Amino acid sequence: MTAIKFVVREGALQGRLPVPDLARACVGECALAAAELGARRAGLAEVPSVLVDDGAVATAFRSERHLLVDGRAPVAFAPLSRFWRTADGWVRTHANYPHHRARLLDALGVPEDVAAVEAALAERSALDVEEAVYAAGGLAVALRSPAQWAAHPQAAEVAQRPLVERGRLDSARARAFPPVGTSPLLPAAGLRVLDLTRVLAGPVATRTLALLGADVLRLDAPRLPELPDQHADTGLGKRSTTLDLAVDRQTFEELLGAADVVVTGYRPGALDRFGLSAEALAERRPGVVVAQLSAWGAYGPWRERRGFDSLVQAATGIAVLEGSAERPGALPAQALDHGTGYLLAAAVLRALNEQASDGGSRFVRLALARTAQWLTDGVDGTDGTDGADAGTVPEDGEGAPYDGPGPWLAERDSALGRLRYALSPVSFEGGPVDWRRPPVPWGTDAARWH
């Protein structure tokens, strides 16, 4: 059995909910999956031991807050991304992207002014705002208590699904991945990953695959530029290109034809018209692993809704549990995003490992709302992880209290400027400790594999 050492540090990711347990479990599962695939590809007799250190985990789960670009700290949320009082409660909005901000203002019929938004929302019910903004293509969610969310039809659908959905799409023959060296041990070396994700869980997953040696090519629509600081945080180790799928299908098909993994993070069904459903991708690229991520799940009445970590916290009762119905709170990190990202990377690594034995195109699917349920249920470890049981995490070592991120930060120069960034918490004996390359400016790479 693989040795997993946990270093527990008091003060890491403190809150009312068991965020430290969730974070340890997600990172431990990812590191274990990486070590197992690495052992297979390197022909090792034993799986390398895994280390999960609360300090590294807590720092990485707040990576976007620790980022500095030429000494400047990014602004995490735009002025219109926050909780607002309504006539009967609270609503949480997300307006970091310009197009989401415009749709929110259109739905409310007000100019881009905090006081005007505040006054408009104070006159309407939270559920009315939620539906009106959604109808306009924006993002707003009414604050719900855990009981209110449990009574919602979407919550019922979420509860019926496993934390990590897995499936086999066809009977494609097993693929022989070439062996890898051990200096360092890179489990995903030589594998090509098409990254069609945004904010934040999907990019965390693909950032992790890049750390482990994969050639990750992030693909964005030219008309939807990424927020620069967000891209700097999650772009480590990757290349970045733009491609209009409605126009240049041939280039995409060439990329797909040589891809081992496709990761998507858009609303369920949003990419189907481009032939990017799991089934369609497997038909054109037998043996591919398709990883899908969404906010609310690929099922239920909210399956087509956009969402972000902060909105899922508001809807599922987390904001009430971390604060109250009178004054909503928040988790100590965007733990739904980060935790789901590491679980998604782990699921991809396990799918690749299984595929090497049994063949078949594979799909894995996760949702932030399902991770939220796991957290609010107490992170019992019964359905979320294959190797790191979150409910019985052994406290192998009590480290010094967590009093800051310093030991788990690094600096390097890049085309974006001098970066200070969080190191990855995914650690196993002989594995990588940092990314091979810094992030590149958004959309500057050619749409081709190296």
- The whole-number pLDDT of residue 385 equals 53
- The whole-number pLDDT of residue 305 equals 94
- Residues near 312 by Cβ (< 8 Å), separated by ≥ 6? 141, 295, 296, 318, 336, 368, 369, 372
Tens digit of pLDDT for each residue in 271-293?
A: 888 899 999 999 999 999 999 99
Question: 438 pLDDT exceeds 80?
Answer: yes
- The whole-number pLDDT of residue 174 equals 86
* Structure-block tokens of residue 394: 């052994």
Question: 28 pLDDT exceeds 90?
Answer: yes
d(CA 379, CA 293): 20
Tens digit of pLDDT for each residue in 55-86?
A: 999 999 999 999 999 999 988 789 999 999 99
DSSP state of 428: E
Question: 384 pLDDT exceeds 60?
Answer: no
Sorting pLDDT into bands at 50, 70 and 90, what band is 1?
Answer: low
- The whole-number pLDDT of residue 396 equals 65
Q: Rounded mean pLDDT of 91-102? A: 95
Question: 388 pLDDT exceeds 60?
Answer: no
* Structure-block tokens of residue 131: 């539906």
The identity of residue 146, as a single letter, is P
- The whole-number pLDDT of residue 382 equals 45
Do residues 448 and 240 make contact, with C-beta atoms less than 8 angstroms apart? no
DSSP state of 72: B
What is the average pLDDT score of the chain?
94
d(CA 288, CA 283): 9
Question: 441 pLDDT exceeds 50?
Answer: yes
Sorting pLDDT into bands at 50, 70 and 90, what band is 270?
Answer: confident
Question: 329 pLDDT exceeds 70?
Answer: yes
Q: Rounded mean pLDDT of 31-53? A: 97
Sorting pLDDT into bands at 50, 70 and 90, what band is 420?
Answer: very high
Between the alpha carbon of residue 82 and those of residues 11, 105, 310, 323, 357, the distances in Å are 26, 14, 9, 15, 48
- The whole-number pLDDT of residue 278 equals 95
Tell me the pTM.
0.95
Do residues 291 and 348 make contact, with C-beta atoms less than 8 angstroms apart? yes
Q: Rounded mean pLDDT of 105-111? A: 97
Question: 39 pLDDT exceeds 60?
Answer: yes
* Structure-block tokens of residue 178: 């070439």
Q: Rounded mean pLDDT of 206-210? A: 98
| Percentage of the residues of the chain whose pLDDT score is greater than 90 | 88
- Residues near 220 by Cβ (< 8 Å), separated by ≥ 6? 196, 198, 226, 240, 241, 242, 243, 442, 443
Question: 339 pLDDT exceeds 90?
Answer: yes
Question: 188 pLDDT exceeds 80?
Answer: yes
Tens digit of pLDDT for each residue in 393-408?
A: 445 677 899 999 999 9
